[in-house]
Structure 1
Amino acid sequence: MCLVIQARSGQFFTPNNIVDQANAMIVSGIFAVGAFMVIISGGIDVSFPALASLSVYVVVRWSLDVEYQGNIIVPLIMVCGLGALLGALNGLLVSKLTVSSMILTLGTSSVFRGIMQGVLEAGQMQSLPRAYDEFAKANLFVAQNAETGITSNMPALFLVLVAIVLIAFFIMRYTMFGRAIYAIGGDENSAKRAGFNVGATKFWLYVLVGAIASVAGLIRTCQTGIMHPTNLMGSEMMVIAAVVLGGTAITGGVGTLTGAMLGTVLISIVQNSLILLGVPTFWQGFFLGVLIIVGTGISAMQVARQNNKLVGIKQ
């Protein structure tokens, strides 16, 4: 596909386009880390865009009210704390109630939006404190297209994505917490019999995912230079689809973080390719929808085939 786009546009493999794609997937990549961990546990969280928006709005509003002049560290810690607190609400509900996590997080998503737009009367903030702008403008290097002279900056924000992916990889592969997440997604009853504390694992998982989502929200706000309450809304399905496209079983227990990241890269490449080819916006949505349906359908068939094999072995 990449070769076809390169042949048609001549711009796909240019340094500046590659950098632009890396920049475009920072937020979706961070969201995908959290979505991957929840899906592996056998759940689905659709509240993370609203959770991130509420966390970031509160911190940005505080920063403007107090005329904050420090660096980004304090707002980052505050955003993570608020995200973890809101995630704790998700974790408490999911761990205590025998209701689908998707239904519960759909409810908390509405609660978060209601608090932001109703109680706080959130509106668009056109200017951000200096620390937010500096955080977004820090660059690792500049890539230039030799033919057109167009340049693109590789933001230091990309290192945040790398750090979060590495930490999540370590947690999922080398810690008991990660093993518990996989075990719960594979078979919750078996996980209980194996000695895993299912309720506590789910609770702390959603706390962690809330903190991760809030970081993604802060980065998006810094990238755009404005705080818009609904900027992230509607991104949850695309993120979840990217994770499933990467081979993560929607039923939980099976999948790798590497695959989830590759799924995110694939979605980013397709979006970028359609733009380079000049495909109208409404057709972009159509092609992405077809890709998601086909990809998730293949993943579902693979899971069903594996389950049938297991049934055959037991018999």
Structure 2
Amino acid sequence: MKQSKWKEILTSNQMFIVYIIVVLCIAISMKTPAFAEVSTIITLARALLVTLCFAICEMVVIISGGIDVSFPAIACASLYIPICVFKENDIDNVVLAFVFAAAIGLVIGIINAVLISLLQIPPLIATLGVSSITQGMLLTFFGTRQISRLPSTIAALNKVYLFTYQSKAGNNYSMTALILVPIILYIVVYIVLKYTMLGRGIYAIGGDANAARIAGFNVVRLQFIVYMFSGVMAGITGMIYCVLNKAANPLNLMGSEMMIIAAVVVGGTRMSGGHGTVLGTILGVVLIGLIQNNLIMLGVPTYWQTFVVGAVIVVGTAITSLKELAVQKNQKV
């Protein structure tokens, strides 16, 4: 029994990702010894902070049987509109900025939920339409100029650190306190999905919405919760991105949705819904992040990175599908 359990763990989709991450890290470390330092972890964590926040929200949506491609547009609107309003009215309040961003995300999340749950529009079409409308209205009414001088309290948040590490070369690497946001978010989502009725409901409607409805779950309410959560977190993540980059740009995050979804799928979340884990999503984000940011150290041309990401997605998804088919075959036997 123990051997069977260990075999299942060692051949799981998550372990497959771990193997690739380990091989990549060893290869990069051999080519660039400095990669094996603590500074690399700090730099990678900072680079993946926004991606981690987006990915966990997308994971929850996909588990519920939906998909959301509007979160980059929500994030752009949620970071740009508050900064424009604050600059125009000489307001400087970091808490209010995040509340404002979350409120914008909530409103757009509710719109997504109405279109998908009440009007029965397919999630991809609904969120794609909302994304285009949001981006169009943002650029029409607020313009496209980058705001480089943020209100002082918002800019100051970028200088709040958990700790600072000094490398052998004497360079300082500081871990931003904002890394606590994805850490807390992942812990909360893990607890909700694993130990609460809400989490069971999200998995249930993703597996079979009709069966979940018969079992007593309120499908419409659950879908509203999922898309509202995604909207709020996209708004907050947009403001975090603004703080980290020390500027507000209404276009920077657009087009990032496919890579985020790729990380979630690589992590073992099924596009059909009903299956996905927090740990798998973290591993998927780390793997995609390593490929995007570090393959160049191995001498891999930039245009080959897209190929590698695509190959990892196909192989990772294929392994998940093959395991699912094997389970179904065993059940029939």
- The equivalent residue for 2:41 is 18
Which of these residues, 302, 306, 328, is aligned with residue 281 of structure 1?
A: 302
The 1:96–1:286 alpha-carbon spacing in structure 2 relative to 1, beyond 3 Å, is same
Match of 1:208 among 216, 229, 235: 229
Match of 2:146 in 1: 124
Percent identity over the alignment is: 39
* Superposed displacement of residue 197, structure 1: 0.4
1:226 matched residue in structure 2: 247
Corresponding residue to 1:58 among 81, 90, 99: 81
1:106 aligns with 2:117: no
Of stretches 221-230 and 111-120 in structure 1, the one that deviates more from structure 2 is: 111-120
CA distance in 2 between partners of 1:199 and 1:309 (Å): 34
Matched, 1:254 2:275: yes
Contact 1:244–1:299, Cα closer than 8 Å, also in 2: no
Q: CA deviation at 1:38?
A: 0.3
Matched with 1:192 is: 213
TM-score calculated relative to the size of structure 1 = 0.93
**Kept after mapping to 2: 8 A contact 1:12/1:273:** no
Query: How large is the Cα RMSD of the aligned pairs?
Result: 1.7
> Structure 1 residue 119: deviation in Å?
3.3
For the residue of structure 2 that corresponds to 1:153, the secondary structure is strand
Deviation at 1:124, TM superposition (A): 1.7
Evaluate the alpha carbon distance shift between residue 36 and residue 223 of structure 1 in structure 2; reply closer, same or farther with a 3 A threshold: same
Q: How does 1:128-139 map to 2 (within 5 A)?
A: 128-139=150-161
- Segments of 5+ residues of structure 2 without an aligned counterpart are 1-22
* 1:177 Cα deviation after fit: 1.6
Give the counterpart of 2:60 among 34, 37, 52: 37
Identify which of 28, 34, 49 aligns with 2:72. 49
How far the C-alpha of 1:118 sits from its partner, in A, is: 2.0
Equivalent position SS for 1:44? coil
The counterpart of 2:109, out of the listed 51, 67, 87, is 87
Distance 1:100 1:66 in 2: 40
SS state at 1:123 partner: coil
Gaps of 5+ in 1: none
Q: 1:109 to 1:306 in 2, by over 3 A?
A: farther
SS in 1 for 2:34: coil
Tell me the SS of whatever aligns to 1:62: helix
Q: Distance in 1 between matches of 2:102 and 2:329?
A: 42
List aligned pairs for 1:276-315, cutoff 5 A.
Answer: 276-309=297-330, 312=332
When structure 1 is superposed on structure 2, of 229-238 and 279-288 the one drifting more is 279-288
Q: Verify: 1:140 aligned to 2:162, yes or no.
A: yes
Task: Give a deviation string over 1:74-98, Cα, whole Å, max 9, x none.
Answer: 1111111110111000011111133
Give the C-alpha shift of residue 217 in structure 1.
0.9
Which residue does the alignment assign to 1:171? 192
Stretch of structure 1 that moved more, 184-193 or 1-10: 1-10
May I ask how many residue pairs the two structures share in their alignment?
310
Distance 1:101 1:305 in 2: 29
CA contact (8 A) 2:52 2:282 kept: yes
Instruction: State how far apart, in whole Å, the 1-side matches of 2:203 and 2:320 are.
Output: 18
Question: Would the aligned equivalents of 1:123 and 1:228 in 2 still touch at CA under 8 Å?
Answer: yes
Flag the structure with higher helix content.
Answer: 2
**When the two structures are superposed, what TM-score results if normalisation uses the length of structure 2?**
0.88
Could you tell me whether the CA contact under 8 Å between 1:245 and 1:299 is conserved in 2? no
Alpha-carbon deviation of 1:246?
Answer: 1.0
What code does the residue aligned with 1:66 have? N
Cα 1:255–1:309 change in 2 (3 A) is: farther
Range 75-84 or range 168-177, more displaced: 168-177
Cα pair 2:64 2:205 within 8 Å, conserved: yes
Tell me how far apart the structure 2 counterparts of residues 144 and 287 of structure 1 sit (CA, whole Å): 33
What amino acid maps onto 2:80 in structure 1?
Answer: Y
